[in-house]
Amino acid sequence: MSFSDIRTQRQIKEARSHASHVGSSPDLMIEESTPALAPLFGTLPPSVEVRTNQETGRGVYAKERLTKGGVIFGSKPPVYVLSTKNLEHFCSSCIAPAPTSGLKRCTLCKNLWYCNATCQNNDWALHKKECDAMRRWAAGAPSLDVAIPAEPIRCLGRVLWGRRKQGLDSVWTREIDAMQSHRTSLPPEATESHTHLAHAVIRYLGLTAPEELVPFGINNAAGIVDLMSRFATNSITLTSAALAPLGVCVSPSVALINHSCEPNAVVVFPRSIKDHPTQEPEAQVIAIRDIAPDEEIFTSYIDTTLPRAHRQAALSTTYNFACKCTLCSKPPKPDPREALACPKNCGGSCPFPSEEGPLTRCVKCKSAVASTDSVLDALRIGQEALQKATSLQFADLPKAQQLTTNIIPILTSAKALSSSHPLLALARLHQSLLLAAFPPNLTQDALDGLIRASSASVTGLSAVLPPGHPARALALAELGKLLAVDEPAPHAAAGSTFPPSGPARLRLACDTLIRARDELAISFGERNGGGEVGREVREMVVRVERELAAWGQGIRNVIEDTPGRAR
């Protein structure tokens, strides 16, 4: 396998799928089903139903046993748009990547691209209005910051045009209106941002005053704020099959699902376009562990590799609630997201020290960490470097890579676990930066360095994410692909040196890819074959197994052709 096969597939960022409503824990008392919702959410199968409880409100519950790897339900989002940077590279209708023959451009607005006339016709009902709006926006570009409006503006434009086209009493509109709004409890800063967004949307629609939104079903200022709040709370990241963020979408049925930092399900876009192309992009809710009857279904709205304080801050800022899931209310002691290795190397770990409580001991052997000040300094420097490197990764890649290269050893020297924050985040970013800056002429040292970075990410993710979590499964797949790359200059094995070389590397690649295949079947659905990435990994397993078999046969042939060999 060539390195270019991997490099073209690697994505710089991971998306974080998220939905709406409030945090809750799975052991709360359940009330009866909500009959008023019966005519809505037709994409929900008979195996689940919408219920409410007194503490967390509305949620989705299993009516029968759901097995891990099973598709709970799938739904094509009624509204979705690509981010501006992806408009030229993906079809705006089915979200497929550009084929080798290229995409077809809209000849009017010249901003959206499509696979063919079929995709363009499928999208025309909404793009007809959007096309005019984008040309009008571009005409005023000298007085605006950008020639193409940002995806929230474009997505909200499609929501409003859809309301008018479908009808204000239609199921389509009622499902959009049924999504959670936090208008009455928005902090001042959120209200201000919603106001700016509302003004931009009004200008994008070609209107001159909020009163002109009445035909769209928006009758007053409260209605405008509700719409902005519903979008901010319920919008989902539109992703590729490998979780790369492509744009934004709104899916009312997915938005029914509540949050947990220990989810039993995930929202993914596996890409099964060969089976039903008109349904793409399809958001699928997949069970990543068995779910019992009457158990609530949870996804995570945020990155759950973050420590509790970071998770709570993100949920409060974006979704306006405090999570009370088990991981937040009864976190492990110590949490591997915030832990050091034992100073005596007994195999145990120590909680991170803090300014308020600098003393910390190994939970296993009770050995105290001697220099907690240096640990606190390392954590502070690491967090600052992570923020700076993240902001620089596209503007100044060498500088971002220099930061991750210099700071990761400081954290490892402080004995931070590979799963701890910010070390894990820095390791994942470092891996992305190495791949993005990889030299055209592949060298053994560069390839081995990238494999070590990928392995560090897998180790950290495996400590905080369950088997079958898509981020963990994809990290395994990426490590397996890198191990399977043809070595430019294989070296002799040297004890426990990692990564190994020659046949030992191929065997490790095969084992890693098989693990990835099994986990992808959970995270992207068994019936989907693990999605697009799962199909690719299965093909790679076959190729690597053939290479190993050919190597073994070659050794046997050499032995048989050796004169005087023992018989």
Indicate the domain borders of the chain.
14-77+251-319, 81-213, 338-438, 440-567
Positive or negative, the CA dihedral 122, 124, 127, 131 is positive
DSSP state of 239: E
Specify the pLDDT at position 31.
38
Give, for 447, the enclosing helix (H) or strand (E): helix 444-464
Distance CA 222, CA 65 (A): 41
Residue type, 555: I
> Could you tell me which CATH class the domain 14-77+251-319 is placed in?
mainly beta
User: Per the structure block, which two tokens stand in for 218?
Assistant: 């928006």
CA 175 to chain centre: 25
Q: Which of 184, 185, 111, 186 lies closest to 153 in space, CA to CA? A: 111
CB 323 within 8 A of CB 405: no
The token pair at 558 is 């050499």
φ, ψ of residue 240 in degrees (nearest 5): -80, 180
How much of the chain is in helix, strand and coil states, percent to nearest 5? 45, 10, 40
The number of C-alpha atoms within 13 Å of 363 and in the hemisphere containing its C-beta is 13
Mean pLDDT (10-residue bins), the chain, 567 residues = 47 35 36 51 93 87 97 95 96 94 94 95 94 91 72 97 94 93 74 86 92 92 89 94 96 96 97 66 96 97 97 91 94 95 95 90 94 95 98 95 97 97 98 88 90 97 97 98 92 76 94 98 95 95 93 58 52
User: Considering all CA atoms of the chain, what is the largest pairwise distance in Å, rounded to the nearest integer?
Assistant: 96
Is 563 buried (19+), middle (13-18) or exposed (0-12) by CB count in 10 A?
exposed
| 107 burial type by CB count under 10 A (0-12 exposed, 13-18 middle, 19+ buried) | exposed
Tell me the C-alpha distance between 476 and 498, whole Å. 16
pLDDT of residue 180: 86
Q: Report yes or no: 248 and 81 within 8 Å, Cβ to Cβ.
A: yes
Q: Which helix (H) or strand (E) holds 283?
A: strand 283-287
pLDDT value, residue 272: 67
Q: Which two tokens stand for residue 538?
A: 């299965």
Whether the bond into 99 is cis, omega within 30 of 0: no
| Cα–Cα nearest to 232, from 147, 155, 323 | 155
Cβ neighbours of residue 213 closer than 8 Å, sequence gap 6 or more: 160, 202, 205, 207, 219, 223, 224
pLDDT at 560 (0 to 100): 54
State which amino acid sits at residue 138. Answer: A
Find residue 339's DSSP bridge partners: 351
Please give the full DSSP string across 449-480, using - where no structure is assigned: HHHHHHHHHHHHHHHHS-TT-HHHHHHHHHHH
Q: Is the distance from CB of 270 to CB of 532 less than 8 angstroms?
A: yes
Q: How far apart are CA 476 and CA 513, in angstroms?
A: 7
Q: Which two tokens stand for residue 160?
A: 């409003």
**Cα angle vertex 556, ends 553, 561, to 5°?**
125
CA 146 to each of CA 151, 232, 277, 353: distance values in angstroms, whole numbers, following the listed order: 12, 21, 33, 46
> Which neighbouring-strand residues pair with 48?
62
Phi, psi of 49 (to 5 degrees): -150, 160
Three-state DSSP class for 70? Answer: coil
Task: Sheet with 79-82: list strands edge to edge.
Answer: 79-82, 245-250, 236-239
- Taking alpha carbons only, the member of 65, 35, 64 closest to residue 50 is 35
pLDDT of residue 7: 45
| Stretch (H or E) spanning 266 | strand 265-268
Q: Are 419 and 445 in contact (CB under 8 A)?
A: no
Residue 485, exposed/middle/buried by CB under 10 A (0-12, 13-18, 19+)? buried
C-alpha distances (whole Å) from 113 to each of 109, 148, 282 are 10, 14, 19
